[in-house]
Amino acid sequence: MSRIGLSPINVPEGLEFSFVEQTFSVKNQNNSLSIKIDNGFDIQSDSGVINIKRPNNNKDSRSKHGLYRSLINNMFIGLSKGFELELELHGVGYRASNKGQLLELSLGYSHNIAMQVCEEVALSTESEKGKQPKIILKSHDKELIGMVAAKIKSLRKHDPYKGKGIRFVGERVRRKAGKTAS
């Protein structure tokens, strides 16, 4: 059984938070994030440390206890440090470029794919000779950056036979053997 919900959250310098009407909000100078929390959960703060208390010990409350603790901790990390994801394109002729927030991908289809990325996610691409093209995403919202990365990966899922596709940097893809001639 996980006890993530019981561990305290340290509040970084320069961030303000509030808990009003079951809505927990965190903000810094530029951005803010908020989350709606179920009734019964209580958030107690004491000199830069936050503890989350659950209403009872039933299974639903225990599972949401750890969930809310992780979501609130990710809000603090995102607004203090930020999150970054890197995707790489594996395949002959696969290219990525961006013009502002417009991502243009050449993924082996008969047409190029253009995708508009929301303003909360900073987008950049790297193309070096001899290396796989990279797409770099940066944001303060972990949920949003994960959804954008999943959408980009879904444009060309990795192939277990040839190894082509879009994947995270460092992600390992298990290769299958395929047919053998007899």
Q: Residue 149: which of 108, 121, 128, 111 has the closest Cα?
A: 121
Measured CA to CA, the distance from residue 170 to residue 160 in angstroms comes to 16
Total residue count of the chain as it appears in this document: 182
How high is the pLDDT of residue 116? Answer: 96
pTM comes to 0.88
Q: Tell me: the pLDDT tens digits for 28-37?
A: 888 899 999 9
Contact present, 11 and 32 (Cβ < 8 Å):
no
Domain-ending residue, one of 60, 80, 100: 80
- Work out the burial of residue 37: count CB atoms within 10 Å of its CB; fewer than 13 is exposed, 13-18 middle, 19 or more buried: buried
Domain-ending residue, one of 46, 80, 114: 80
> Does some domain include residue 180?
no
> Is residue 69 scored above 80 in pLDDT?
yes
Q: Tell me: the pLDDT tens digits for 3-22?
A: 888 899 999 988 999 999 98
Q: Are residues 62 and 107 in the same domain?
A: no
Joined together, the tokens standing for residue 13 give: 């310098």
Considering the chain, what is the average pLDDT of its residues?
Answer: 91
The helix-helix angle for 59-80 and 142-154 (nearest 10°) equals 90
CA-angle at 32, arms to 30 and 37, nearest 5°: 170
Split into its structural domains, the chain has a count of: 2
Percent of the chain scoring above 90 in pLDDT:
65
> Does some domain include residue 119?
yes
Domain around 10: 4-80
Q: Are residues 8 and 55 in the same domain?
A: yes
Report the CATH number at residue 42: 3.90.930.12
